[in-house]
Amino acid sequence: MFEAFLIILKRDLLLAMRRKSDITSTLFFFVVVVSLFPLAIGPELDILRQIAPGIVWVAALLASMLALDHMFSGDFQDGSLEQLALTPQPLSILVLAKIVAHWLITGLPLVIVAPVLGLQYDLSADAIGILVVSLFIGTPVLSLIGAIGAALTLGLRGAGVLVSLLVLPLTIPVLIFGAGAVEASISGLGAQGHLSMLGAIFVLSLLLSPLAVSVSLKVSIE
């Protein structure tokens, strides 16, 4: 089972390396959106510190959704998805491997560049640290929830718009606790409560999302 997980993970990462547009477009979108606000607002440091958590988190959400429709569409078009469904391995494990690959391609680069972008908003070292931790916990949740939307809209016209309509309402708690953790750090309050809630959402999503995605994929294939 673990070997099958690694095979699918390695396969999706290799395919992503051949199609680097998903990585570059996601990262470029995130950097541009976050960088535009300091340029528009100007050197008002107090205002920049106040709006930084929300802007970074909303930009991360929108950036992670750019490649959601590619998560299963390629395998669906070439028939690989049907073969995965027929393997003796649990489909939920194989789906989890694809979700992890999606996060490594689209989510992890956002976490890596977040400290540099946080400097534009005059965030302290502690606030930047909390920002990185919250993104490291929260961006996998965005991929897990996004996978459900991608599976439900697989093969439909205008899937990108439908995925957005399905996923955005479900990600509101992630945005609230992710941005709230950074705001609490900026205000001098403890961010442990927000991070704990974010971690609980991650665990819940990790347990339920692969099962929901596998059921949705079987329906789409049939």
Looking at residues 3-22, what average pLDDT do you find? 83
Mean pLDDT calculated for residue range 113-135: 92
**pLDDT above 70 as % of the chain:** 96
Q: In this structure, which amino acid lies at residue 89?
A: Q
Please state the rounded mean pLDDT for residues 141-148. 92
CA dist 26 → 33, 80, 193 (Å): 11, 25, 30
DSSP alpha helix (H) spans, 153-171: 159-170
Lowest mean pLDDT among 79-93, 112-126, 152-166, 191-205: 152-166
99 within 8 A of 144, measured Cβ to Cβ: yes
Report the SS3 class of residue 164.
helix
Mind listing the pLDDT tens digit for each residue in 58-67? Answer: 999 999 888 7
To the nearest whole number, what is the mean pLDDT of the chain?
A: 87
Whole-model pTM: value is 0.91
Once rounded to an integer, what is the mean pLDDT over residues 127-141?
A: 94
Helices 125-152 and 192-221 cross at an angle (nearest 10°) of: 20
Please report, for residues 49, 80, 133, 185, 197, the alpha-carbon distance to residue 203 in angstroms, rounded to integers and kept in the order given: 30, 29, 15, 23, 10
Q: Residue 78: CB partners within 8 Å, gap ≥ 6? A: none
What average pLDDT does this structure show over 54-82?
83
| Mean pLDDT score, 135-161 | 85
Given a cut of 80, whether residue 47 has pLDDT beyond it is yes
Of 77-86, 93-102, 142-151, least confident by mean pLDDT is 77-86
For the chain, how big is the Rg over CA atoms in Å? Answer: 18
pLDDT at position 158 is 61
User: Which tokens sit at 141?
Assistant: 């949740």
Question: In the chain, what percentage of residues exceed pLDDT 90?
Answer: 41
- For the cut 90, the answer to whether the pLDDT of residue 56 exceeds it is yes
